[in-house]
Structure 1
Amino acid sequence: MSPLARVAVAGAGAAAFALVLSACVPAAETAAPSAGSVSSSAAPSATASASPTASATPTPTPTRALPASCDGVYSAAMRSTLENEIAPLNDSEVTLLSTAQAPLLELLQTVPTLRCTWGGPGDRGLATNVSIVDTTQAATIRDALASAGFGCDDADGTTTCVIEQRGVSLEDRPYERGETQAISGDIWVSTSWINVNPDGYTQDILSTVGG
C-alpha cells in the first residue's frame, strides 16, 4: 500500500520526522496520541471549597472565517500549478495527515480547520490543513515544533518551520518527504508532503486566506 494511503499508529512519544527514516517509505503520519498523553482532556478537579460563582473562561470566538472550500485557499496561479502538476484535489482515498506531531494532531481536532489534499494514492502528493488559532494555541504550536527539531524562521510577522527527510523505498526508489508549518497572525497552515513541494505553496495560502 502506498505512503499516501496509509496512516501508521504511534503513541504520544512519536518521533519527529527526522528520526523515523528507514529503509522503506514510512507510513503516512501518526494517528492521535494515546489517551494517557492527551493534555486537552485534563481539567482541574472540582473541590468542595470551590466558589459556586466560579466559571470557566469562555473560548474566544474566532474573528476570521475560513474559506468555504479549498477553492478559496489558493491564488489562481497556484491553483493552476497544482492542477497541472499534482491533481486531483481532495481524492477521497488519500489519508495522509498534515503533520506527524502528536500535540499538533490534538490541536487540529479543536480549532476551525479546512483540509485540502493534492494527488491520488501513491508516492507523490501533499496534505494541508488551514486553521484559525488564538495566541495561546499559536504558542503551543511553536513550542511543539521547536521540541521536535524543526528549523524555524521568523520574517514579516510569519513563523515558518520546516523538517525534511530522504530515504529509499522497498522498490529501491529514492523519496523525499517533509512538513512545513507556518503561523501568521491567527492563520496556521500545516502541510505534509511526499516527493512534491511546490515553490511558494505555503506563502500563497497565507496571502490568499489572510488577504
Structure 2
Amino acid sequence: MMNIRRAVVTAAGAAMVLAAISGCVPEPGSTPSPSASISSPTPSGAATPVSPAPTPSPIETMLPDTLQLPERCEDIYSAGMLESLNQQNPPLNDPGVTMYSTENAVGLEILAAGPASIRCSWGTPSESGLATTVTVIDATQAAALRTGLLESGFGCEDGLGGTVCRIEQRGVSLDDVPYLRGETHVVRDNGWVATAYINFTPEGYSEDIVQTLWG
C-alpha cells in the first residue's frame, strides 16, 4: 500500500491552494571546479620502473536511456486515458493554467536548470485541475530528487519500475469549500514524471503515463 502522508491545513493556508502560480526562478547551485592533479617527480637512475596503479573508474552518472520524450502531450497517455481526460476535465493545455507540476524546492531547481521536458495540464483556471511534467534527468538529479521528496514529507516506495512518491493534503478554503490537493512523482531510469493536482485525481493517471512511455 502506498505510504501517503495526509495533512489538514488551515483555512488561511487554503488561499494559497486556489491561487495560480505565476512563476518561480530558483537559484541554481554553483558547481565547484575540479581540483588540479599534482604529479610526483620522476626519479632518475637505472632503477626498474614501477607500473602505475590502475586509475579508478569515474563515478557513473548516466542512467539507462529508456525514456524517449514525446513531442506532444497527447502522446504521454494511452488512447483510453486521453479520451477519459477530455471528457472529465478539458481542455488540454489551457494557456490560463499556470500551476507547476511540483512545489518541492529540489524539483523546482531541477526544472529551472532547463532539462528536456514536456508540460501538460488539464482543466481551466479554476478550483479543479492538474499539471504534469515529464523530464529527462541524470543519476545525480534522480538521487537529489528522491532525497528532497523524502525530506519534504512525501511517502516514497518502490513501484512502477522505479520509485513512486506521493503527498496529499485536505483543507477548507476561505469560502468554506473543502478541497483536496497533492503531488505524485515517479522516478524511473532517466525519467521523472511529476504531477500536481487540485480536486482532480483521475484513477490510474500516473500509472497510465508510465505504461505509455516505458511500455
TM-score by length of 1: 0.77
Change (3 A) 1:20 1:134: farther
Residue 156 and residue 80 in structure 1: after superposition, are their counterparts in 2 closer, same or farther (change >3 A)? closer
Unaligned runs of 5+ in 2: 38-58
Pair 1:195 & 2:199 matched? yes
| Deviation readout 1:95-131 (Å, 9 max, x if unpaired) | 1100011111110133211000000000000000011
Report the 3-state secondary structure (helix = DSSP H, G, I; strand = E; otherwise coil) of the residue aligned with 1:67.
coil
Specify the alignment match of 1:90 in structure 2. Answer: 93
Cα displacement string for residues 153-179 of structure 1 (whole angstroms, at most 9, x for unaligned residues) = 113532111001111111111000000
- Matched residue pairs, number? 183
Amino acid in structure 1 at the alignment position of 2:131: A
Mean alpha-carbon deviation: is it higher for 181-190 or for 19-28? 19-28
Amino acid at match of 1:166: R
Segment of structure 1 superposing worse, 139-148 or 101-110: 101-110
Q: Following superposition of structure 1 onto structure 2, how do residues 36-55 of structure 1 map, counting pairs within 5 Å?
A: 38-39=28-29, 42-44=30-32, 50=36
CA distance, structure 1, for counterparts of residue 8 and residue 99 of structure 2: 16
Say if 1:25 and 1:175, in contact at 8 Å, map to a contact too. Answer: no
Aligned-pair CA distance for 1:19? 7.3
The CA RMSD measured in Å over matched residues stands at: 2.7
Larger Rg: 2
Cα deviation code 1:19-42 (max 9, x no counterpart): 793303424558333x4xx32xx1
Rate the CA distance shift 1:177–1:129 in 2: closer, same or farther, 3 A: same
- Write the mapping of 1:1-211 to structure 2, written as runs, cut at 5 A: 21-23=9-11, 24-26=14-16, 27-28=19-20, 31-33=24-26, 35=27, 38-39=28-29, 42-44=30-32, 50=36, 63=65, 64-109=67-112, 110-155=114-159, 157-211=161-215
Shift of 1:46: 8.0
Unaligned runs of 5+ in 1: 1-16, 52-56
